[in-house]
Structures are given as structure tokens and as C-alpha cells.
Amino acid sequence: MAQVVLSHWLERLQMTDLTRIVDDPALWAPIHRIAGTLDKALPELFVSDYDQRVEAARQRLRPED
């Protein structure tokens, strides 16, 4: 599920210094809004096997060799 992978990445992004990665401060608010929307829409973010679900979703989304 792409939404889980994106949500996980956005969470990690928000925990960094956004100024190092996103050079336009006008983008910060939309990043936070999108992350918040995904958090509300994805109940799997709050399950005990979250890490395994994220990894499984990543595996499904990666192109095959």
C-alpha cells in the first residue's frame, strides 16, 4: 500500500530539519497537512506490527529486477 510507505516517509521527513531537504518554506505547511491527512486515513499506522506492514508495502512497490 503506497499510502503507508508515503506516510512513513513523510513522518521521517517531518522529524528532520526540513530546511535541509525542502528549500521552499511554502511547501512545509502542505507537507504537514498531507501527513496529517494520511495519519487520519490509515488505521494500520497504529497497529503493533506496523514496521512489518511498512516493509511488506515497500517490497510490493519496489520494481522487480
pLDDT score at 33:
94
pLDDT score at 27:
93
CA angle 30, 38, 32 (to 5 degrees): 25
Q: Please name the residue that has the C-alpha cell 503493533.
A: 48
pLDDT score at 19:
86
pLDDT score at 6:
92
pLDDT score at 37:
93
Q: What integer is the mean pLDDT of 25-38?
A: 92
Domain ranges of the chain: 2-61
